[in-house]
């Protein structure tokens, strides 16, 4: 069962597009106070989208805490994660995914693509999977 414990979820962002189908995806800054879904595995996420905003609406973004994340594939407990090319959580391997960022660790697994996992998220200090 996926859970959430927010630590830092500021209400300062606006959706740059219709993100109503992207709840629990990684988002990045896209302009003056707007966010959009991460579109490359090398993007630096600002956090995980918590609501379902349409364009111009407030986007609730968890930057630090325990969050549900939509998985790009099955994720196991302990997997280090970052964004995939479509904004879903993707396992990262240090030493292999060296151009990609690790921003969390799975604490409750998901069994398939599109499933929800629970992860400890820290997008305040992203690090490369070097």
pLDDT given at position 68: 97
Its pTM stands at: 0.93
Say if residue 15's pLDDT is above 80: yes
> What does the pLDDT read at residue 6?
66
pLDDT at position 8, please? 67
Q: What is the DSSP secondary-structure string of the chain?
A: ----EEEE--S-EEESS--TT-TT-EEEEEETTEEEE--STT----EEE-S---TTSEE-EE-EEEEEEEBSS-B-TT-EEEE-TTSSEEE--TTTSTTSEE-EEEEE-B-STT-EEEEEEE-SS-EE--
Residue 130: its pLDDT value, please?
84
Tens digit of each residue's pLDDT (9 = 90 or more) over 105-128: 999 999 999 999 999 999 999 999
**What residue segments make up the domains of the chain, in order of their start?**
8-63, 66-128
Better pLDDT: 101 or 8: 101
List CB contacts of 119: < 8 A, sequence separation 6 or more: 66, 67, 69, 81, 89, 104, 105, 106, 107, 108
Q: How confident is the model at residue 50 (pLDDT cuts 50, 70, 90)?
A: very high
pLDDT, residue 5, reads 64
Q: What is the mean pLDDT of residues 37-59?
A: 97
Bridge-based pairing state of the strands 34-37 and 13-15:
parallel
What does the mean pLDDT of the chain come to? Answer: 94
């Amino acid at each position: 069962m996926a859970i959430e414990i927010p630590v830092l979820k500021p209400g300062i962002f606006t959706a740059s597009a219709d993100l109503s189908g992207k709840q629990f995806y990684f988002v990045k800054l896209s302009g003056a106070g707007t966010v959009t879904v991460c579109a490359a595995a090398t993007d630096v996420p600002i956090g995980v989208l918590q609501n379902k905003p349409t364009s111009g609406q407030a986007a609730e973004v968890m930057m630090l805490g325990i969050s549900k994340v939509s998985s790009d594939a099955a994720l196991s407990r302990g997997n280090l994660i970052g964004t995939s090319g479509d904004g879903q959580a993707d396992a990262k391997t240090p030493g292999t995914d060296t151009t990609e960022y690790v921003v969390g660790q799975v604490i409750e697994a998901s069994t398939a693509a599109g499933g929800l996992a629970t992860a400890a998220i820290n997008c305040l200090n992203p690090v490369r999977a070097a």
